[in-house]
Amino acid sequence: MHTSVYDKLTLGVMKNGGGFLLLVDPDRGMLSDILPLVEEAGAAGADAILVGTSFLFNSDFPEAIRQIKRASTVPVILFPGSASQVTPGADAILFMSLISGRNPAYLIDEQVRGAPLVKSYGIEAIPTGYMLIESGSYTSVEFVSNTRPIPRSKGDLAAAHALAAEYLGIKLVYLEAGSGARLAVPEKMITEVSSQITIPVVVGGGIVTPEDAAKSINAGASFVVVGTRFEAPSSQQRLREFAEACHPLLVKSAN
């Protein structure tokens, strides 16, 4: 019987106490540098590879996805900025609605454009409620989406959005500080959100160290997303440190 990517990830969280998702952006580096990192990620303990970008300067994004998929030993999941980034070859896609904003283009318009492509390509869709959280800097996703983030001090507002998402049938809630964020999503907000819902919480943006990742997991996040901040000579060791920080039960059992 086929096990979905979503089920594999959530079962991993139950077993390991959390999950580590590595985000790679083909627009932000040479594919020749990204592929070795992707190869190392699975062995180092990453649970999946997210592939996403804001603008898609890469002229052959589908080929980039195919190469990343060949290099990876863990699921490859699209993390699209728009319907134009829906492409074949990935195992799944975070089918996102920007629920923290009120811009119809990212609440439903892009989703309507992308849905037929997801079906045609046979990609597993993981319904995701995407929420921008104030991070101390003006981020790319804030500019592109033309929406304001939820204030850092408004954990109750974030929790209400997350609860609405769960009641709408969404399977993941993603709290995003944004690429280039000065501050990560507050631990207090993660706790407030995770205590109100039963679906997994994903946290990304502003997570610089394994200690940052562990704090998010301890606060109630199911998954932590970290971008390509790994230098080649020590990338596998650095990846392993992040994976261990996101897998507290696995580390405890090993000891």
Q: From CA 61, how far away is CA 44, in angstroms rounded?
A: 26
Per-residue confidence (pLDDT) for residue 195, from 0 to 100: 98
CB 247 within 8 A of CB 45: yes
pTM: 0.96
Rounded to 10 degrees, the C-alpha dihedral 132/134/136/139 comes to 20
30, pLDDT greater than 80: yes
Residue 76 identity: V
Give the CATH fold of the 5-254 domain.
TIM Barrel (3.20.20)
For the segment 172-210, what is each residue's pLDDT rounded down to a tens digit?
999 999 987 899 999 999 999 999 999 999 999 999 999
Check if the beta carbon of residue 84 is closer than 8 Å to that of residue 27. no
Q: Identify which of 192, 198, 190 has the alpha carbon closest to the alpha carbon of residue 214.
A: 190
Domain ranges (residues) in the chain: 5-254
CB 156 within 8 A of CB 109: no
Tally of helices (H runs) and strands (E runs) in the chain: 11, 8
Say what percent of the chain tops pLDDT 90. Answer: 82
pLDDT score recorded for residue 243: 97
- Whole-angstrom distance between the N-terminal and C-terminal Cα of the chain? 33
Phi, psi of 156 (to 5 degrees): -65, -35
Note the pLDDT of residue 54: 72
